[in-house]
Amino acid sequence: MNFRMNRRRRVYEGKAKVLFEGPEPGTLVQYFKDDATAFNNQKKGTITGKGVLNNRISEYLMTKLGEIGVPTHFMKRLNMREQLIRRVEIIPIEIVVRNIVAGSLAKRLGIPEGTVLPRSIVEFYYKKDELGDPMVSDEHITAFGWANPHEIDEMMSLSLRINDYMSGLFLGIGLKLVDFKLEFGRLWDNDELHIILADEISPDNCRLWDVKTNEKMDKDRFRHDLGKVEEAYQEVARRLGILMPESVITSEGQPE
């Protein structure tokens, strides 16, 4: 057994990431894996180099969002696969913002994929793998105490600002931001409670289509076996100007 296994305490292991205790109280180290899952864990696989790319892409987007005043958990990137983040209490709600119909919305309501929505739509899902993350309304969220009305308002307004900013950013590099998923956390600063953006923003949780060809440049390539999965993640990083040519090919380093 590798003696370094116990060097850091594993706080949480999810499908695509591992969280370790950070160097200071109130911090965590977020490690990005190459593992990919879809359809509520029924499909499993590996996207070589995904962790390295998502670490970079999420760093880039969270830094930019920080610059426009969106509070995020991101502190700094530590190495190829790890970033230092603020430890927050995750609110068990996934916020999905949609600009164009795709995925579960197309299926559930029978609206053709690609239909441009008359306005951006925000949806809430209860974060519960065993139940397949069911869609919920603000009534469920407040009745069951997952978040209070003020927190819901804050998450909604931050999500819409993030959508406005990211839609423009991606359009500038020839990509349509079709939809994406966000997670938020609670952070206490003295006696004040702040709602801050957590998790990651990457092609794992965004749908991105090429403006000219409508080619999918995100996890849908993995979900639906469209091929060129690695290439799509690399292309998003390349267009953002953050691709490191040699580092993305290998799947070096498992979490210690």
Residue closer to ligand UDP (CB basis): 135 or 244: 135
CA 94 – CA 147 distance, rounded (Å): 12
CB 195, min distance to ligand UDP, A: 19
Q: Label the pairing between strands 43-46 and 192-197.
A: unpaired
Tokens of 165: 């900013």
Dihedral angle sign, alpha carbons of residues 203, 208, 212, 214: positive
Residue closer to ligand UDP (CB basis): 33 or 207: 207
CB 205, min distance to ligand UDP, A: 3
CB 190, min distance to ligand UDP, A: 33
E strands, the chain, are 10-13, 17-21, 27-32, 35-38, 43-46, 74-77, 82-86, 89-100, 116-126, 135-136, 175-189, 192-197, 206-210
Q: Which residue's CB comes closest to ligand UDP?
A: 103
CA 226 – CA 203 distance, rounded (Å): 15
Residue closer to ligand UDP (CB basis): 22 or 105: 105
Residue closer to ligand UDP (CB basis): 22 or 33: 33
Instruction: Give the residues lining the site for ligand UDP (CB under 6 A).
Output: 96, 102-105, 133, 179-181, 205-207, 219
Residue closer to ligand UDP (CB basis): 26 or 134: 134
Residue closer to ligand UDP (CB basis): 199 or 230: 199
CB 35, min distance to ligand UDP, A: 14
CB 207, min distance to ligand UDP, A: 4
| Burial status of residue 72 (CB atoms within 10 A of its CB: 0-12, 13-18, 19 or more) | buried
Contact 45, 194 (CB under 8 A): no
- DSSP character at residue 216: B
CB 28, min distance to ligand UDP, A: 20
- DSSP character at residue 15: S
